[in-house]
Amino acid sequence: MARRAGDNPVVEAGARLGYAASGLLHLVLAWLTLQLVVGSGGGSADQSGALAQLAGTALGTALLWALLAGFVLLGVWQVTEAVARRGSDRVRPAAKAVVYAALAFSTVSVLRGASSSSDQQAQSATARLMSQPAGVWLVGVTGAVIVGVGVFHVVKGARATFLRDLREHPHRWVIRIARVGYVTKGIALGAVGVLFAVAAVNHDPDKAGGLDDALHSLLGVPAGAVLVAAIAVGFACYGLYSFARAAYARV
């Protein structure tokens, strides 16, 4: 039943729409990240900030509804993949389903005008975790997991294993920008994970943060502006690859 649901033309088309929605989101995120480097502001450099930026355009509401449909249907497709597979093969699609569900939730929040930045969400979640028994350890593990996801993205880009997700090999330029996109996105995720680890070590939930906080922290290191600019380029590359993935994805 899960396989039949996943092969439904509406779900397949929705999954491709979801990849395109991710592409648009990353392009806006790249722009916001670049604004941090030049110091002109422009909004929180995270997914919530990117969605809010889209909401401020002339076609904002229509774009957000299109993104919401894409995230929901791509999440549904990932659920069908998780159910249809066996053993450890279920982990990746299940995790991705959670990610797209979170993106859908963030999109709904922006549509309702009640969104919050990833930094606020991270600090709030960290505070709740730390209030639990062994909460500090849980925050530390969370940071380690996020760093691990970042390393996974770096390796996936370096080894081009993302080609396994595609039904055919795309043009060379698609492979090149995908490599850059995965590696730089992995670096950004690693920085977020480090913030959670610092929060655990210092027993301070305010030390935790989302992508925007991580990028601001990177700006403070030597050659930080160059690194953040490179991450902005990487987000743009990942966004462009996501548009190509909408056409080439194995769904």
Task: Using the structure block, give the residue that is written with the tokens 């922290």.
Answer: 217
Number of H helices and E strands in the chain, helices first, is 10, 0
Q: What is residue 126's predicted lDDT score, i.e. its pLDDT?
A: 75
Q: What is the pLDDT of residues 49-104, one digit of tens each?
A: 889 888 887 788 899 999 999 999 999 999 998 888 887 788 888 999 999 999 99
pLDDT value of residue 178: 94
Q: What residues does each domain of the chain span?
A: 2-248
**Predicted pLDDT at 46:** 83
> Please, which pLDDT band fits residue 114 given cuts at 50, 70 and 90?
low
Residue-level length of the chain: 251
Q: What pLDDT is attached to residue 87?
A: 79
* 155 band by pLDDT with thresholds 50, 70 and 90: very high
Q: How far apart are CA 72 and CA 17, in angstroms?
A: 10
Distances (CA, A) of 184 to 9, 159, 230, 234: 33, 14, 7, 5
Whether residue 211 is predicted with pLDDT greater than 70 in this model: the reply is yes
According to the model, what pLDDT value does residue 40 have? 66
Of residues 83 and 133, more confidently modeled: 83
pLDDT in tens, 140-153: 888 899 999 999 99
pLDDT, position 92: 87
- What is the chain's mean pLDDT, rounded? 86
Higher-confidence position of 232 and 87: 232
Whether this prediction's pTM lies above 0.85 is answered by: yes
Tokens 């092969």 belong to which residue?
7
Q: At what angle do helices 135-159 and 118-130 cross, to 10 degrees?
A: 140
User: How much is the average pLDDT of 155-176?
Assistant: 89
Query: In this predicted structure, what is the pLDDT of residue 231?
Result: 93
User: If you search the block for the tokens 């600019």, which residue do you land on?
Assistant: 229
Position 115 pLDDT exceeds 70: no
Supply the pLDDT for residue 223. Answer: 83
